[in-house]
Amino acid sequence: MKKLSIASLALIFFLTASMVYAKDLIVVITPSHDNPFFKSEAVGAEAKAKELGYDVLSLVHDDDANKQNELFDTAIARGAKAIILDNAGADASIAPVERAKNAGIPSFLIDREINKNGLAVSQIVSNNYQGAKLGGEEFVKLMGEKGNYVELVGKESDTNAGIRSQGYHDVIDQYPDLKIVARQSANWSQTEGFEKMESIIQANPDIQGVICGNDTMAMGAMAALKAAGKGKVIVVGFDGSNDVRDSILAGDIKATVLQPAYRIAQMAVEQADKYLKTGSTGLPEKQLMDCVLINDRNAAKLETFALK
Amino acid sequence: MLNTSTTGSRFIARIFLTLCLFFLVINACTIVPDDDTQNGSQGKSGEKEKLDIYFVSDDFKPDEYARNIWKSKVVPLFMEKSTPLEQILPDWHQNSAEAGRKFGYREKAEGSPWNFRVRGKGIILAAHTTSRASTVDIDLFPADGTPDLVLQIGPVFKDSAIRDSLDFISFTDFTNQLEFARLSNAFNKVVRQDVTGNLDRENLKGRQVSFWGAFTQLQDSDQIRVTPVVLTIE
C-alpha cells in the first residue's frame, strides 16, 4: 500500500513535471519536401518556432487530402497549440481546418488558401496574381511579343494554379501574335513537367516559349527541351528556387517570380505566437505578400526564396 | 411493338424535331451580340477561346460588384479623401516609404506596396497611345516643362491601384485570390468604360487636365502611374 502510494506520488510528480517542462507544440504540415519550395517553408517555420521556444513536429501530406486528415488527427491527439499548414486542396482542406478549430487548435495557412474564410486565423499567401503578371510581362518581352508557346499549369486542387494561369493570360492574351499551342497540367511536378513537355514537343516541334506555373515544372520542361536540342526555347517559371536561379545564371531558364516562401512561413509562426499569447494577431485573416521578378539581372542575389 | 414502322417514323420525326430545336437554340445563341469585346482580360475570356481557369466560378459577379459601388462609394471616397499630388511629391522623391506612411494606404504592412489616392491639375506633355496600355505624361501646375506623373488611359490598365486604395475593401471578404483579382479587373473595366472610353486619343498633347485617381508604389522604379477615377480634359 505504501509502495503503491509512493509509486503514484512519483507518477503524479513526473506528470506535473513533464507538464511544466514540456514545451508547447507547433505542428507544421506541408506538401512533400521533394520540392525545395515546401522544404524551405518547413525549415523556415521550424526555425522560427524553435527560436520562440516551441517544440515542432514537421509532417508532409504529399498532396493527399486523406493523409492530411490523418495528420490533423495526429496534431489534435498530440495536443498541438497551433498548426502551420500549406494545404492539400482549397476545398478538401476546409473540413480538417474546421475540425482543428473545434478542437481549440488555431491554424495558420501559408502559400495556399482555402475557399472559406473565418476558419483559419491567418491565411498568408503570395500575391500570385501580381506575380503572374510580372512573369507574364517578362515572358512577352523575352518572346518579342510573338511566337508559339506552351503553358504548363499547376495542380487543379490549388487556387494558385488557377490564379497564376489567369495572371499569365491577362497579360499574354493582349498580344495576338503570341499563340498558345498546348496547355496542360503537370501537377507542379518536375517529372511530369519533363514527360508532358517531351510529348508536347513531338506534337508541336515549332515552339518558341514555355511559361510554367512553378519552378519544378520549368526545370522539367527545360530538361526536356534541352534533350530535344531545343535549349534556346524561352522558359519562365514561378517560385524563385535555387535550382532555377542556377539555371538562369547558366543561361537556360530565363526568368522566374520569387515568392517569399521562407519569410511567409516565419510570419505564420510569429502570428501563431502572438495569437497564442494575446488572443489576436492584429492582422486581417487573408494577407497577400508581393512577389518579385527574378531574371539574369538579380538572380545572383537569390538564396533560399529570399533576395540577399 | 405491334406497329414498329410507325413507331420508327415517329422516332425519326422526333429526332428531326429535336435537331431543329437544337439548331434553333444554337442559332439563337450565336445571334446574341458580344456586347463587350474587350472582355478578354477578364476572368472568362470572350466567346472565341474559352480558357478554363480552375476555381473561376460564375457565382461571383465582379462587374456587378464594382458597378454597384462605383458611383456610391468609390468616386465619393476619392472626391472626399484624396491628397493633392504636389503635396506628396517632395516626400515621395526623398523616400517613397516615408511618403507612404504619411499619405498612403495599405491593408497590411509587410510585403505590400503603399497605395495613394490623389488629385491634380496639369498639362499633357506627351501621349503614348501605340501600346494598348496607353499613358499620357502630365506636368502638374505650376508647369515647369517636366512630367510629374504618367496617367493610364487604357484600354489596358496595369496594376490594382484602385482596388488596393479602397480602405473598405479587404481580401478577407473574398473567397480566394481569383475573386480578388477579378474584382481589380472589374474596377479597371469601369475606368475603361466610364472614365477613359470617350477620350479623343489622337488629340491629347498640350491639353489641360484635372484628375482624381490612385497609384501604387512600384517595385522597380519611383514612377507615379495613376489610374484615373475622375478625369476631365479641357
Strand-by-strand arrangement of the A107-110 sheet: A55-60, A25-30, A82-85, A107-110, A122-126, A286-289
The yes-or-no verdict on residue A118 having pLDDT over 50 is yes
* H, E, C per residue of A255-306: EEEECCHHHHHHHHHHHHHHHHHHCCCCCCCEEEECCEEECCCCHHHECCCC
- Of A144, A137, A106, whose CA–CA distance to A257 is shortest? A137
Chain B contact for A116, CB < 8 A?
yes
The yes-or-no verdict on residue A41 having pLDDT over 60 is yes
B154 bridge partner residues: B134
The overall average pLDDT reported for chain A is 94
pLDDT (tens digit per residue) in B34-74: 344 344 333 334 344 567 888 888 889 999 999 999 999 99
Domains of chain B, start order: 75-233 (2.40.50.420)
Q: Supply B98's cell numbers.
A: 516615408
For residues A206 and A147, what is the distance between their CA atoms, to the nearest angstrom?
9
The pLDDT of residue A3 is 57
Residue type, A306: A
A174 vs B contacts (CB less than 8 Å): 40-41, 132, 156
The yes-or-no verdict on residue B97 having pLDDT over 50 is yes
Task: Name residue, grid cell 519562365.
Answer: A236
For residues A119 and A91, what is the distance between their CA atoms, to the nearest angstrom?
13
Range B168-185 average pLDDT = 95
The yes-or-no verdict on residue A65 having pLDDT over 70 is yes
Nearest residue on chain B to A114, judged by CA atoms? B176
Domains of chain A, start order: 2-125+261-288 (3.40.50.2300), 128-258 (3.40.50.2300)
Nearest residue on chain B to A128, judged by CA atoms? B177
Chain A contact for B171, CB < 8 A?
yes
pLDDT (tens digit per residue) in A121-175: 999 999 999 999 999 999 999 999 999 999 999 999 999 999 999 999 999 998 9
Residue type, A165: S
Contacts of B200 (CB under 8 A, 6+ apart): B233
For residues B189 and A165, what is the distance between their CA atoms, to the nearest angstrom?
20
* H, E, C per residue of B107-136: CCCCCCCCEEEEEEEEEEEEEECCCCEEEE
The yes-or-no verdict on residue A303 having pLDDT over 90 is yes
Chain B contact for A290, CB < 8 A?
yes
